[in-house]
């Protein structure tokens, strides 16, 4: 249940700390006193959009914090642990902070969380039913959710959605393959032509680089031979070559005799250098002899490179290796096209299997919906009829539909409020007051099935009076036997049913007006309900009537 609510620096509220109680809590107050402001602040904990205009003091952040008792709520505990949200077995604290600059921060049990996580946690803790939410009753999504909640379809829907997602993926793969194969078939002739062109060249990886090296050598043959001659002459020239100089150094070492340290092995090292230089000189000579002018070979290389360059340009690739990659890709494309019928048949089989599994799970959900729809229609009629709708008839229609993420059913609430009136969709025939009473009846039915600590009704009794108001109050009191109920009301018949009553009012100081809230004592409740009965002038008759209502409540 909601144990306490703290609001500071929010609109007309400078500071409010409210302690709530189990059972049925009632909030009353004059129109414009600030009841909607309190609900607006509380809605921020449900992930509503923050507006910096509500931050009254520009030097202080606005803070809204709610403390919930969460003993014996295993589903909420499981959710928080799965989402890696800090958990306490006794209490859950939700907090929202809005800075004057507009920055909003959210916390669960004092740990910062994204706003989406705050919203998910809060939906397990509290349901704020405001007047505009009555319009949900006419929406297919809400009607379907009600039936699924009562039918206990949560686990079935999770299992179905796994299969439905698998079906969507199978269909997506099939469509993608069909489109790809269709495009390939349209381009098959051109693809084969491209492949033939590349295959005619008989390319090898690295070939282009080797041809370009050979061409550069042949093109610069004269300068290369000149460089080889210089290098060879420097090593083994007739006069002053490196080899001749090393030989002279060796002869000089022989003349030095014992003056050289034997451990240095200088003569041997010089001899090794002579052998190495001679080998290098020989390599230069062999290379020089291998290089000869061959115009025909150069022309052949130029022709081969020209063909490669032309095809690279045509196919927008960098080099011959890119052409080889393209060739392999074209071959694979044609291989896939040749086996496309088998590929499509396999994907179609996968899609049929996935559809059969999804439909099997959807049918299980549909059966549960149909069984529950019949029970719910009878129960809704029984509960709502005493609320001033004595001729009410309700029927929950469950009809086949295309398979979607929620199954393969259309659910529609059909109602008739008058004798001999045909059943019609609830949104097309119900007035605002009738929708409010139907919605309260629905909440009454599902309250025992909801693992929800608290529910707040915001003037759900608008547009009713007399005995109907009394019955609506009793219904909310009955709901409070399963979960904590808080209602905002202007009706004395409803207010008298509450176990605790709070009054919202405005208070002025020297600078501004502030919204306040206080828990009323027994005597204060008498006078408050008397005022609701008789207006500003409270006489003994109104007091007696108020006491009578409270005694009945």
**Residue 430 burial by Cβ neighbours in a 10 Å radius (0-12, 13-18, 19+):** buried
309 belongs to a structural domain: yes
Question: For residue 536, what pLDDT is reported?
Answer: 67
Q: Find the domain containing 289 and state its range.
A: 188-338
In the numeric block, the tokens 């559809």 are attached to 355
pLDDT band at 393 (very low <50, low <70, confident <90, very high): very high
- Same structural domain for residues 111 and 235? no
CA distance 520 to 527: 10
508 belongs to a structural domain: yes
- Same structural domain for residues 100 and 221? no
509 belongs to a structural domain: yes
Residue that is last in its domain, among 288, 322, 338: 338
Query: Residue 211's CB: how many other CB atoms inside 10 A?
Result: 17
Write the pLDDT tens digit of every residue in 15-54. 999 999 999 999 999 888 888 899 889 989 988 888 878 8
- Same structural domain for residues 322 and 216? yes
- Same structural domain for residues 117 and 200? no
From the list 386, 533, 515, 484, the residue with the least C-alpha distance to 3 is 484
Strands 126-129 and 111-113: unpaired
Which CATH number characterizes residue 29's domain?
A: 3.40.50.300
Question: For residue 300, what pLDDT is reported?
Answer: 87
89 belongs to a structural domain: yes
Mean per-residue pLDDT of the chain: 86
10 belongs to a structural domain: yes
Q: How many domains does the chain have?
A: 2
Q: Does the structure show a pLDDT above 70 at 262?
A: no
Element (H, E) at 509: none
- Same structural domain for residues 194 and 101? no
- Same structural domain for residues 99 and 196? no
374 belongs to a structural domain: no
Strands 424-425 and 454-458: unpaired
Question: For residue 129, what pLDDT is reported?
Answer: 82
Question: For residue 210, what pLDDT is reported?
Answer: 86
- Same structural domain for residues 103 and 194? no
407 belongs to a structural domain: no
- Same structural domain for residues 311 and 232? yes
Q: Which residues contact 500 (CB under 8 A, 6 or more apart)?
A: 20, 21, 23, 24, 25, 26, 519
- Same structural domain for residues 89 and 216? no
**Range scoring the smallest mean pLDDT among 85-89, 249-253, 489-493:** 249-253
315 belongs to a structural domain: yes
Question: For residue 511, what pLDDT is reported?
Answer: 84
């Amino acid at each position: 249940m909601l144990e306490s609510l703290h609001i500071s620096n929010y609109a007309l509220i400078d500071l409010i700390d409210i302690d709530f109680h189990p059972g049925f809590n009632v909030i009353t107050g004059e129109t414009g006193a600030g009841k909607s402001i309190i609900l607006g602040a509380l809605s921020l904990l449900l992930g509503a959009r923050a507006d910096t205009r509500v931050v009254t003091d520009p030097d202080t952040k606005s803070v809204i914090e709610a403390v919930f008792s969460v003993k014996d709520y295993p589903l909420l505990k499981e959710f928080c642990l799965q989402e890696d949200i800090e958990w306490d077995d006794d209490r859950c604290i939700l907090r929202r902070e809005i800075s004057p600059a507009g920055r909003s921060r959210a916390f669960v049990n004092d740990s910062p969380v994204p706003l989406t996580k705050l919203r998910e946690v809060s939906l397990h803790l509290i349901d704020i039913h405001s007047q505009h939410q009555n319009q949900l009753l006419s929406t297919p999504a809400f009607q379907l959710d009600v039936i699924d909640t009562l039918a206990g379809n949560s686990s079935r829907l999770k299992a179905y959605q796994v299969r439905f997602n698998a079906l969507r993926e199978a269909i997506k793969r099939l469509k993608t393959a069909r489109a790809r194969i269709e495009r390939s078939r349209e381009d098959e002739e051109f693809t084969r032509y491209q492949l033939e062109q590349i295959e005619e060249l008989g390319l090898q990886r690295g070939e282009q680089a080797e041809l370009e090296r050979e061409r550069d050598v042949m093109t610069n043959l004269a300068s290369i031979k000149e460089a080889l001659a210089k290098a060879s002459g420097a090593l083994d020239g007739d006069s002053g070559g490196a080899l001749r100089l090393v030989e002279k150094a060796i002869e000089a070492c022989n003349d030095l005799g014992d003056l050289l340290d034997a451990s240095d092995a200088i003569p041997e090292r010089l001899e090794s250098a002579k052998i190495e230089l001679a080998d290098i000189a020989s390599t230069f000579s062999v290379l020089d002899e291998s290089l000869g002018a061959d115009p025909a070979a150069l022309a052949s290389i130029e022709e081969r490179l020209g063909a490669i360059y032309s095809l690279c340009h045509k196919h927008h690739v960098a080099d011959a290796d890119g052409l080889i990659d393209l060739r392999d890709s074209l071959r694979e494309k044609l291989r896939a096209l040749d086996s496309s019928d088998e590929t499509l048949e396999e994907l179609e089989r996968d899609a049929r299997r996935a559809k059969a599994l999804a439909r099997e799970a959807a049918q299980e959900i549909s059966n549960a919906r149909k069984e529950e729809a019949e029970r719910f229609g009878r129960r809704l009629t029984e509960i709502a009829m005493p609320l001033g709708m004595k001729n009410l008839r309700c029927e929950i229609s469950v009809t086949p539909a295309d398979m979607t993420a929620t199954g393969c059913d259309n659910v529609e609430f059909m109602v008739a409020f008058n004798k001999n009136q045909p059943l019609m969709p609830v949104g097309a025939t119900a007035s605002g007051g009738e929708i409010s009473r139907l919605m309260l009846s629905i909440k009454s039915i599902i309250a025992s099935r909801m693992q929800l600590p608290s529910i707040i009704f915001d003037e759900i009794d608008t547009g009713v009076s007399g005995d109907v108001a009394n019955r609506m109050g009793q219904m909310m009191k009955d709901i409070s036997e399963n979960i904590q109920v808080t209602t905002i009301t202007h009706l004395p018949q409803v207010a008298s049913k509450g176990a605790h009553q709070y009054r919202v009012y405005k208070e002025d100081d020297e600078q501004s007006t502030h919204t306040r809230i206080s828990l009323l004592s027994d005597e204060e409740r008498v006078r408050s309900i008397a005022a609701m009965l008789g207006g500003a002038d409270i006489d003994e008759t109104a007091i007696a009537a108020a006491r009578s209502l409270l005694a009945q409540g």
